[in-house]
């Protein structure tokens, strides 16, 4: 289980960055999601979402991606595997 802290949010953002995704926080009336815009990888997170919704949304997106684990260092691989084991309840 991943605790809901700013530190873990930063770790998840770093994991996204290592995978080539840019995390952007935007205001608006939308759900968090991932998209590709002209071959760029962007994850857009609603700025006004609570910390737990931000973390759970990013976990859901990251665990659904297909990628090569060789892009990650050892600590990030361990953290990613922990995220995959996290049971999401929003």
Distance, CA of 27 to CA of 3 (rounded, Å): 25
Considering only 22-31, 44-53, 65-74, which range has the smallest mean pLDDT? Answer: 22-31
Greatest mean pLDDT among 9-18, 25-34, 54-63, 68-77 lies in 9-18
Query: Minimal CA–CA distance to 67: which of 75, 77, 57, 58?
Result: 77
The answer, as to whether pTM is greater than 0.95, is no
Q: Are 40 and 13 in contact (CB under 8 A)?
A: no
Give the strand pairing for 40-46 and 22-26.
parallel
Predicted confidence band of residue 12 (pLDDT cuts 50, 70, 90): very high
Q: What is the reported pLDDT for 31?
A: 72
Whether the predicted pLDDT of 90 surpasses 60: no
Distance, CA of 10 to CA of 40 (rounded, Å): 21
Strands (E), 10-85: 22-26, 33-37, 40-46
Q: What is the reported pLDDT for 5?
A: 96
Predicted confidence band of residue 39 (pLDDT cuts 50, 70, 90): confident
């Amino acid at each position: 289980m991943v605790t809901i802290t700013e530190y873990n949010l930063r770790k998840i953002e770093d994991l996204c960055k290592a995978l080539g995704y840019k995390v952007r926080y935007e205001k608006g009336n939308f759900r968090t999601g991932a998209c590709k815009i002209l071959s760029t990888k962007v994850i857009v997170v609603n700025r006004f979402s609570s910390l737990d919704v931000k973390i759970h949304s990013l976990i859901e997106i990251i665990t659904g991606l297909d990628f090569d684990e060789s892009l990650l260092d050892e600590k990030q691989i361990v953290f990613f595997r922990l995220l995959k084991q996290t049971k999401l309840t929003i």
